Amino acid sequence: MSTFDNISSSRSGDKALLIFNCYTWLIYRCQGFKIKSMGRVINYLIFLFFFIFIGYVFGIKELKVYKVISSSMSPTLIINDRVMAIKSSNFKRKDIVAIKDPTGRNEILIKRIIGLPGENITVKNGYVYINGERLEEPYIKEKPIYTLSIKIPPDCYFLLGDNRNNSEDSSTWGPVKKEMIVGKVICCYWPIKRFKIFISKK
């Protein structure tokens, strides 16, 4: 699936996301040719321009920043990484999202969407299966050692951390209601050496 699939432009947050994805797609295509060969000063200027651009596109109300507080998303995100998230009503499999802690703690957690509303999720033999089809997951730290099987209720999502065996997620609390998702993570912006843009692909 391409970068632009399943993006709705019916709401302001999703319109901003569409523009951002167009911009980041160009960066993604050009990274190997330009950014790696630039000096430190130029990299910082690009970094500054990036902040100005997304601030202009999203506005303060659409954009939030969060600090990663656990290793549950390692190796994709590690403790003390800073990420940016935007409000969205359109979520896809493998999106990284910020959610309210389902246990009631006053914390924001970062997880990855694995299962969508109405799907059957099975975890067995170290793999995740969606409606019986194995999900390819090159981003995980290690294969899960647990097993589970669940059907996701309407308007809910099944979320897991990339560090499967060291993550408090839907394998513990079950599916999460859509209203608990506060934003879609679009990039890790700090530290600069770990700067990365998250482009969802199916």
- pLDDT tens, 66-107? 999 999 999 999 999 999 898 888 899 999 999 999 998 999
Q: Beta strands of 104-155 (E only): which ranges?
A: 108-115, 120-124, 127-130, 133-134, 148-151
Query: Does the predicted TM-score (pTM) go above 0.75?
Result: no
Ordered by start, the domain boundaries in the chain are: 12-194
Asked if 70 and 38 count as a contact pair (C-beta separation under 8 A), the reply is no
Domain 12-194: CATH superfamily, name plus number: Umud Fragment, subunit A (2.10.109.10)
Catalytic positions: 72, 111
More confident of the two residues 3 and 125: 125
